Amino acid sequence: MFPTLLLVDDEPGILQSLGGLLQDEGFDIKTAPNGFEALKRIESEAPDLVLLDIWMPGMDGIDTLKEIRKLDPNIPVIMITGHGTIDTAVTATKNGAFDFIEKPLSIDKVLITINNALHFQKLEEENRYLKKKNLDRHAITGNSPPVQQLRLQVFQAASSHAPALILGENGTGKELVARSLHQLSSRSEEALICVNCASFSPDRMEEELFGLEKNIASGSARHKGSIEMAHRGSLFLDQVADLPMIAQGHLLRFLEDGRFHRLGGSREIRVDVRIIAATNRNLEQEIRQGTFREDLYYRLAVLPISVPPLRERKEDIHALATLFLQESATRGKIKEKQLTPGAITLLRNHDWPGNVRELKNLMERLAISLTDETISEQTLKNQGVTTPSRPDPMAARDYETAMKLFSALYLRKQLAICNHSIPEAAAASGLTQETFQKLMDT
């Protein structure tokens, strides 16, 4: 996608010669002979940068700049003048001009200024994003076989540009996996934009993803959507099962040909974005219930990655708990707390329904609130960490009770392996869904 430049000058000669030179440099060029025309073109063409002559009849460059700022607060504007004085430079800068170029124009100077402005604009965008999301760069901690397998899957997926779908229960580390995938990919120098599909109403979701051309009715200013901001990088769609149906259709179209329109706009925009989606829901079930499009599912799930629940990688619990205690100590500038052997055993035996997030929250809370330097088994019990009591089938006296207990354990295990999907667990156990469900209910 070549950057689009809008040249605004009342001298047709300048528009033609400068436009031609910049076109040869690979820019997409639009022109306007005055301020009014420029504002219209900004509305209809959404250029990436404006080169604006300061001395024009009618609305001059400074007034045009002020109007542009109302329309789009972020677009970089470079002023061109033949009579550059300190006063006009100060006024233009106060009104948000990026830089000044004096006539007669040197193409080298023009190119350097344009590239600086575009580069600065990109850094600003990333900066805004980083500030908003406070990105940290954790690696996936753990050495259990499921986590080793997970790291391998992430590593392999990183060399592809195909969409990846990350599946796993709440708090297992899906977002961490998405970040790791982006960081390992050739897109790591570009932005990873995260969108939580559960946090927007259907209308706002479309705007968040695809951006908006100026909305006359509501008066909202034009802005880029997450897809456009992720150009050359990755877009992480968290809780993708919550994506409203209309947005699902538009996302599918975008995945098919990499093109989209901003909301209320007619210009077709083409970007290069790698989509990474995640969900803790069973999408196959959502498809059967008619809440998720099957065609979108197949587009997203080209590279499926499953993140195992913490109870299936108990070997990692000690390392994770220690990591979280270390991090809390560094952040709070306090002494790192130690776990007693009994506490470590109890942590390994707990079921962790909230997965890694639950463990992290607990460790952070204890790191800050405890006055003792060690965390004992009793301290953890006081915080509700328990060893789940699982009835042992072998301890049952009568055959019928033993079989019931065994059946319950077996079904629970199958469900855990199959990411809590009854259809998958039933198929894996060679049972019909009805039988599986019936056995679960008894």
Ligand X SMILES: Nc1ncnc2c1ncn2[C@@H]1O[C@H](COP(=O)(O)OP(=O)(O)OP(=O)(O)O)[C@@H](O)[C@H]1O
Rounded CA gap, 134 and 131, in Å?
5
Query: CA-based angle 324:327:329, to the nearest 5?
Result: 110
Site string for ligand X, 22-61 (x = CB under 6 A): ----------------------------------------
173: contact with ligand X by CB under 6 A: yes
Please name every residue paired with 30 in a beta bridge, in sequence order, or none if there are none. Answer: 6
Q: Which residues contact 407 (CB under 8 A, 6 or more apart)?
A: 439, 442
Q: Which residues contact 400 (CB under 8 A, 6 or more apart)?
A: none
Site string for ligand X, 417-436 (x = CB under 6 A): --------------------
CB nearer to ligand X: pick between 45 and 327: 327
CB 86, min distance to ligand X, A = 51
Candidate residues 360, 362, 385, 415; the one interacting with ligand X per rule CB under 6 A: 360
Candidate residues 208, 238, 242, 424; the one interacting with ligand X per rule CB under 6 A: 238
Note the helical H segments in 258-316.
283-288, 294-300
172: contact with ligand X by CB under 6 A: yes
* Centroid of chain to Cα 247: 16
Q: Considering only CA atoms, give the Rg of the chain.
A: 29
Stretch that binds ligand X, among 105-113, 123-131, 352-360, 428-436 (CB under 6 A): 352-360
349: contact with ligand X by CB under 6 A: no
CB 77 within 8 A of CB 97: yes
CB 196, min distance to ligand X, A = 8
Candidate residues 191, 356, 375, 411; the one interacting with ligand X per rule CB under 6 A: 356
CB 286, min distance to ligand X, A = 15
Candidate residues 5, 77, 176, 367; the one interacting with ligand X per rule CB under 6 A: 176
CB nearer to ligand X: pick between 88 and 306: 306
Q: Which residues contact 144 (CB under 8 A, 6 or more apart)?
A: 313, 314, 315, 316
Rounded CA gap, 433 and 419, in Å?
15
Rounded CA gap, 73 and 90, in Å?
18
Q: Are strands 28-32 and 4-8 parallel, antiparallel or unpaired?
A: parallel
Rounded CA gap, 388 and 201, in Å?
39
170: contact with ligand X by CB under 6 A: yes
CB nearer to ligand X: pick between 348 and 357: 357
241: contact with ligand X by CB under 6 A: no
CB 413, min distance to ligand X, A = 21
171: contact with ligand X by CB under 6 A: yes
Question: Sheet of 28-32: strands edge to edge?
Answer: 28-32, 4-8, 49-53, 77-81, 99-102
Residues 245-274 that bind ligand X (CB under 6 A): none
Stretch that binds ligand X, among 121-129, 258-266, 353-361, 386-394 (CB under 6 A): 353-361
CB nearer to ligand X: pick between 141 and 349: 141
Residues 124-143 that bind ligand X (CB under 6 A): 138, 140-142
Residues 285-344 that bind ligand X (CB under 6 A): 320
72: contact with ligand X by CB under 6 A: no
Rounded CA gap, 227 and 44, in Å?
19
Q: Which SS3 state, helix, strand or coil, does residue 274 take?
A: strand
Token pair in block for residue 9: 């000058």
Rounded CA gap, 217 and 210, in Å?
18
190: contact with ligand X by CB under 6 A: no
175: contact with ligand X by CB under 6 A: yes
CB 249 within 8 A of CB 387: no
Residues that bind ligand X in the complex, under the rule CB under 6 A: 138, 140-142, 168, 170-176, 238, 280, 320, 356-357, 360
